[in-house]
Amino acid sequence: MKKTTGKIFWKQPLTYLLLLAGAGGALLGQHIIFPQAQKYPENPGNIVASQLAASQSKTNIDANSNPTKPNWLPVRSPIPNGNFIVNAVQKVGPAVVRINSYRRVGQQPNMFGRGMPDDFYGIEPPRNQYGQREEGTGSGFIISADGHILTNAHVVEGATTVEVVLKDGRRLQGKVLGTDSVTDVAVVKIDGNNLPTVSLGDSENLQPGEWAIAIGNPLGLDNSVTVGIISATGRSSNDVGVPDKRVGFIQTDAAINPGNSGGPLLNQNGEVIGINTAIIDGAQGLGFAIPINNAQQIAQQLIKVGKAEHAYLGIAMQTLTPELKQEINRNLNTDMSLFSDQGVLIMQVVPGSPAARSGLRPGDIIQKIDNETITKSENVQQIVQKRTVGSLLEMEVNRNGKNLNLQLRTGNLPARLRG
């Protein structure tokens, strides 16, 4: 859990899944490999009985083929040594990596109270006080054979050095091509050829109850695998306590812990459907992942230009209910009364924003966008998240009881709003 100083990406109640260690040391645990569990049939008693019967009928054959083997021993049928989880892990495991990121978190003050550089007079500041090096351990996965790695922005953001450890033990220097704090997605590049890669799935039509498999390096325990289900989809940033982020999260009960951050969430076919990102502090069975469709879109921009653009309207909004309508009408002037109790109420319009230029006003109620009926503020967020900067939206709003049709061209989210 992220308990150290520095920029905190997630606000409470979310907790980083990043394992940190200060004072120049890596807090990396050793791992124990337990024997792989075998998949046995449901009723072992019936199997033993059938094996005994089979052995009696084959006594002469066994005696002739292997005279030293007692003919009363049962002939054992082969037991399956894998299942869909094993197959998925074997398919993806080689492409899952550990990412060690190193940051400098302060400087030693001199007699004037100012920080001095590390090489001042050739003296290195004490690592355990000022200018200490902080190490974070996260996860990632290779998406191209030439070494592009997808991970979380908070795993590598602000890092001075990034080291990538492959499953086969190789340690390679990584270069951060770009990070996007709005979605918590980052791309790291390593030099290599014919590297193992993952297969990307489709996160658009996931259903609660589907299998979910998480792979990563929790608490320094490399290549750990946990299994559960997708317990919900489309969790808005408001739902999980990070309203300034623009992600419709996948919720899973597959156990994820600090160090899993940036690792893949798989479906039963071994395809990546999300990036494990956050947990709710103090809760159990509540983990969140960034849908791979969104992450892939951001990754393409980061690889190409080193930064990502996000469509932007410039409004503050709230889902309208009959109760909210009644409360607002009691406090508004009679010439600004709300006449609809369904839709999304625009509370504020940012001056100079795309919304302001299109003619939207506070008090307007969004009814439809591109002929899609709007009932929740999350609907607006999801539509805008999927659009590119400069997209044209057809919007129907209710203003003082009359429906108006407006056109709005999305802008790029300003840097000051990116967190």
Parent domain of 392: 311-417
Whole-angstrom Cα distance, residue 319 to residue 175? 42
- Pair 296, 318 in one domain: no
Whole-angstrom Cα distance, residue 127 to residue 86? 43
Q: What stretches of 146-230 show up as alpha helix (H) in DSSP?
A: 153-156
Q: Please state whether the predicted TM-score (pTM) of the whole model is above 0.75.
A: no
> Is the residue at 171 inside a domain?
yes
pLDDT of residue 336: 63
Instruction: Look up 184 and say whether it is catalytic.
Output: yes
> Is the residue at 54 inside a domain?
no
Q: Which of 261, 287, 308 is the last residue of a domain?
A: 308
pLDDT of residue 131: 57
Q: Which of 267, 288, 308 is the last residue of a domain?
A: 308
Q: How far are the Cα atoms of 106, 114, 200, 344, 413 from residue 388, in angstroms, in the given order?
A: 39, 45, 22, 22, 11
- Pair 9, 144 in one domain: yes
Question: Where does residue 67 rank: exposed (0-12), middle (13-18), buried (19+ CB within 10 A)?
Answer: exposed
Under-50 pLDDT residues of the chain: 1-13, 15-16, 18-70, 72-73, 76-79, 107-130
- Pair 158, 108 in one domain: yes
140-197 residue pLDDT tens: 999 999 999 999 999 999 899 999 999 999 999 999 999 999 999 999 999 999 999 9
Number of folded domains that form the chain: 2
- Pair 327, 301 in one domain: no
User: What sign for the dihedral angle of Cα 90, 92, 95, 100?
Assistant: negative
> Is the residue at 56 inside a domain?
no
Considering the candidates 261, 310, 364, 377, report the single residue annotated as catalytic: 261
**252, 277 in Cβ contact below 8 A?**
no
Nearest to 171 by CA among 387, 71, 346, 26: 26
Whole-angstrom Cα distance, residue 307 to residue 292? 18
pLDDT of residue 92: 95
pLDDT of residue 39: 36
- Pair 218, 335 in one domain: no
Which residues, including other chains, have CB under 8 Å from residue 257's CB and lie 6 or more apart? Answer: 17, 218, 219, 279
pLDDT of residue 23: 33
Considering the candidates 184, 237, 310, 377, report the single residue annotated as catalytic: 184
- Pair 141, 201 in one domain: yes
Whole-angstrom Cα distance, residue 201 to residue 295? 12
Considering the candidates 101, 139, 148, 154, report the single residue annotated as catalytic: 154
- Pair 145, 2 in one domain: yes
> Is the residue at 68 inside a domain?
no
- Pair 231, 282 in one domain: yes
**143, 92 in Cβ contact below 8 A?**
no
**185, 302 in Cβ contact below 8 A?**
yes
**407, 358 in Cβ contact below 8 A?**
yes
> Is the residue at 212 inside a domain?
yes
> Is the residue at 66 inside a domain?
no
Which residues, including other chains, have CB under 8 Å from residue 87's CB and lie 6 or more apart? Answer: 270
Instruction: Look up 118 and say whether it is catalytic.
Output: no
Which residues, including other chains, have CB under 8 Å from residue 270's CB and lie 6 or more apart? Answer: 87, 88, 89, 91, 92, 199, 213
Whole-angstrom Cα distance, residue 72 to residue 58? 10
Write the CATH number for 370. 2.30.42.10
Whole-angstrom Cα distance, residue 17 to residue 260? 6
- Pair 15, 85 in one domain: yes
pLDDT of residue 81: 61
Whole-angstrom Cα distance, residue 136 to residue 151? 13
> Is the residue at 48 inside a domain?
no
Render 91-155 in DSSP notation, one character per residue.
HHGGGEEEEEEEEE----B-TTS-B--TTGGGPPPPTTTSS-EEEEEEEEEE-STT-EEEE-HHH
Q: What type of residue sits at position 227?
A: V
- Pair 117, 180 in one domain: yes
pLDDT of residue 36: 37
- Pair 248, 388 in one domain: no
pLDDT of residue 141: 98
- Pair 205, 121 in one domain: yes
> Is the residue at 376 inside a domain?
yes
pLDDT of residue 108: 44
**58, 75 in Cβ contact below 8 A?**
yes
Nearest to 216 by CA among 248, 269, 256: 256
Instruction: Look up 154 and say whether it is catalytic.
Output: yes
The two three-digit tokens of residue 13, written as one number:
């109640």
Q: Which of 243, 273, 308 is the last residue of a domain?
A: 308
Angle at Cα 232 formed by Cα 386 and Cα 247, nearest 5°? 30
Write the CATH number for 212. 2.40.10.120
